[in-house]
Structure 1
Amino acid sequence: MPIPVIICDDSSFARKQVTRALPSGWDVDLTFCANGREAVAAIEAGQGDILLLDLTMPVMDGFEVLEYIRKQDLPTLPIVISGDIQPESYKRVMALGAVAFIKKPVDPAELTRVLDEFGVLGILTEQELQATGQVTFTEWVQEITNVAMGRAADLLVRVVNEKVELTIPHVSLLERGELEMTLNATAHGDSFSCITQGFIGGGISGENLLLFHDTDIRHVAELLNFDLNHLETSSEIELYMDIANVLVGAFLKGFAEQLDICFSQGHPRITIHSQDSAVILANHQGHERILTIEVNYVIGDNQIRCNQLVLITPESIAALKLRSGEEIG
């Protein structure tokens, strides 16, 4: 008799990836959910003896799902599969009742080991499991971004010893005018400081923008144990650079590793107290669409907001698609 299994992730690419990672021939009845609310309803309907659960999702995230399962004592075996690999996130999900935590991208051997450890594999059949749904290019990039974002946050946590909150990354193809509006919205209409840094490798090139809001600078100094009595423009730049080096370096490394390439990074440039998005977009002319990745971080108890935009050139899109193999349509 097939075992009812739920794969819950807002990314269709991630759902497909997890499906392919399941043991070949395992006799299961799969249910796919795009958010926690759908997963809870499916468990209550008897469709999820085993739950393979993402954390960062809309409507109802993975933490809320685990809380609900514990509160309602729902009959399911929750296994978290997430790109948010911060130690605090691991501790929290295990405290909420998850039986295992597997980092993205999921390793089939590790997933099989975890399932076998709990005795749920039974006797494997010859049935081949097939992923459902077509994955778009932007969905594929978003899942790669999700993993890279988790690695960047994990490294920053280890540096500052503070929790980093993550939101769902957003990926889109934007023309220059649309990109300018996105940048202005990201800046929330305030003056901001922006660190820009180019990168290139494997036929892919682009620019990383990291935006800080100037009202946060004293909190940034406290976060990095900087003497506030010596806070000057030069030291302000150093503070921004310290965080940028951690986030940008870890993000680009995580992104590139999933594509099996390496990025070379250019020298970072900083624009202080800017309200002019045209200055930042000066290198992006023409009408071709730019692949734009938006990531938001909220750092520590003081809620330091850091907005990241990764702009990938139109010429790089073909090289990216080649790296996807047969993953996207």
Structure 2
Amino acid sequence: MTLRVTLCDDSGMARKQLLRALPQDWDAQMHMAEHGEQALERVRAGQAEVLFLDLNMPVKDGYQTLEAIQAEQLECLVIVVSGDIQPQARQRVLALGAMAFVKKPMAAGEVRELLQAFGLYQVASGKLQLVEQNKPALSAADKRLDVYREVANVAMGQAGEKLARMLDTFIDLPVPNVNFIAPSELHMAIQAIDTEQAISAVSQGFYGAGITGEAMVFFTDTSVAGLCDLLGQELSGSPRQQEIEALMDVASLLTSSCMQGLAQQVHIDFAQVQPILVGQDQSINDIVQANQQRWQNVLAIEIGYRLQQPAITFELLILFPEHALPILDRHLAHWLEERAEDSHD
């Protein structure tokens, strides 16, 4: 009997990657969803006996979707596929009823073994069928951003996992914001932190394959105090020195981990220069204006990390200059070509 399956991810590229990883001889009918609310509609309509579910999505995220499936007692087997690889993320989704947790990107062999282990797939049992969906076509620019966003999502998850271990707490991860912007618009990209507060910022340059870029991490004063409490005895010196040490340690870990995650996917070895404190106890506008003269039009990747207990928020902003985009495109050509094709996702 044909199994009805839904792939839920806000990234078209991620859905297409997962679809390509599924066994082509699986007797399954495939449906798509772009966020948790759509996934629930598929489950209620009987189109998701099996649901592949991302965690970090707009409208309704994966955790909220799992909670709704439990609350409504919906019949559905859920396999979470996420770039958020924190141990607590895995524990949370399994506690909410997920059948399995797998990190992105899934390999074809891994998917096949998982489906066979749960008795959902037999070799040569049928043919994978994709249900046609009427959707507005994405522009070339939007497809390009979708690829960058999903690459950033995987890198963000790797950095979040290392930060969670460093601080011994759970990190809420967002959907990365990725946009092409001018320097005068840079302050608009900084969305995750309370810009009414005084801000501190750490900058770290990076280079590789003809690309020179910059990563900046922004902290509110409230967040700095919270980080000092979490790091505790690991810090030394006067209170002011401890604040600077906390800023530099967290910013360096976030930047290096995220750049490493990007490097693994775009196949570019990025080297990094020493981090520097570019502003402390200043307004966000003062920090941006003091530094924007070295920026031209950029690809800005904005990732807001949030801790629940204590309530701490800080933001990583990765800036690739305009001249880097053709180089990145060449290294991501296989994904960009796939997104340029007529697809059903």
SS in 1 for 2:310: coil
Inter-partner Cα distance in structure 1 for 2:234 and 2:17? 47
Q: Which runs of 5+ in 2 are unaligned?
A: 341-345
Relative to structure 1, is the Cα distance of residues 138 and 106 closer, same or farther in structure 2, using a 3 angstrom cutoff?
same
Q: Indicate the residue corresponding to 2:70 in structure 1.
A: 70
Letter in structure 1 aligned against 2:293: A
Inter-partner Cα distance in structure 2 for 1:227 and 1:48? 48
Relative to structure 1, is the Cα distance of residues 157 and 229 closer, same or farther in structure 2, using a 3 angstrom cutoff?
closer
Q: Indicate the residue corresponding to 1:283 in structure 2.
A: 294
Matches within 5 A, 1:1-329: 1-124=1-124, 127=127, 136-183=143-190, 188-226=195-233, 231-270=238-277, 271-275=279-283, 276=286, 277-285=288-296, 289-328=297-336, 329=340
Inter-partner Cα distance in structure 2 for 1:215 and 1:70? 36
| 1:180/1:281 contact within 8 Å kept | no
| 1:172/1:292 contact within 8 Å kept | yes
Inter-partner Cα distance in structure 2 for 1:127 and 1:218? 57
CA displacement, residues 236-272 of structure 1 (integer Å, 9 cap, x when unaligned): 2111111112211111101110112211001111022
Higher mean C-alpha deviation, range 298-307 or range 3-12: 298-307
| 1:187/1:211 contact within 8 Å kept | no
SS in 2 for 1:282: helix
Higher mean C-alpha deviation, range 147-156 or range 268-277: 268-277
User: TM-score, with normalisation over the residues of structure 2?
Assistant: 0.88
Inter-partner Cα distance in structure 1 for 2:2 and 2:120? 11
CA displacement, residues 246-303 of structure 1 (integer Å, 9 cap, x when unaligned): 2111111011101122110011110222321111323114xxx310011001125121
Inter-partner Cα distance in structure 1 for 2:333 and 2:66? 34
Equivalent pairs counted in the alignment come to 326
Inter-partner Cα distance in structure 1 for 2:127 and 2:321? 42
Alpha-carbon distance, 1:228 to partner: 9.1
Inter-partner Cα distance in structure 1 for 2:105 and 2:236? 44
Inter-partner Cα distance in structure 1 for 2:180 and 2:100? 36
Letter in structure 2 aligned against 1:260: H
Relative to structure 1, is the Cα distance of residues 163 and 203 closer, same or farther in structure 2, using a 3 angstrom cutoff?
same
Inter-partner Cα distance in structure 1 for 2:177 and 2:23? 31
SS in 1 for 2:333: coil
Relative to structure 1, is the Cα distance of residues 305 and 228 closer, same or farther in structure 2, using a 3 angstrom cutoff?
same
Relative to structure 1, is the Cα distance of residues 184 and 251 closer, same or farther in structure 2, using a 3 angstrom cutoff?
closer
Letter in structure 1 aligned against 2:290: V
Relative to structure 1, is the Cα distance of residues 29 and 126 closer, same or farther in structure 2, using a 3 angstrom cutoff?
closer
| 1:207/1:310 contact within 8 Å kept | yes
Letter in structure 2 aligned against 1:283: R
Relative to structure 1, is the Cα distance of residues 225 and 77 closer, same or farther in structure 2, using a 3 angstrom cutoff?
same
| 2:201/2:216 contact within 8 Å kept | yes
Letter in structure 2 aligned against 1:248: T
Inter-partner Cα distance in structure 2 for 1:198 and 1:228? 25
Alpha-carbon distance, 1:131 to partner: 11
Q: Which runs of 5+ in 1 are unaligned?
A: none
Inter-partner Cα distance in structure 2 for 1:116 and 1:214? 51
Inter-partner Cα distance in structure 1 for 2:220 and 2:6? 41
RMSD (CA atoms): 2.2
Inter-partner Cα distance in structure 1 for 2:193 and 2:313? 10
Inter-partner Cα distance in structure 2 for 1:258 and 1:81? 17
| 1:221/1:227 contact within 8 Å kept | no
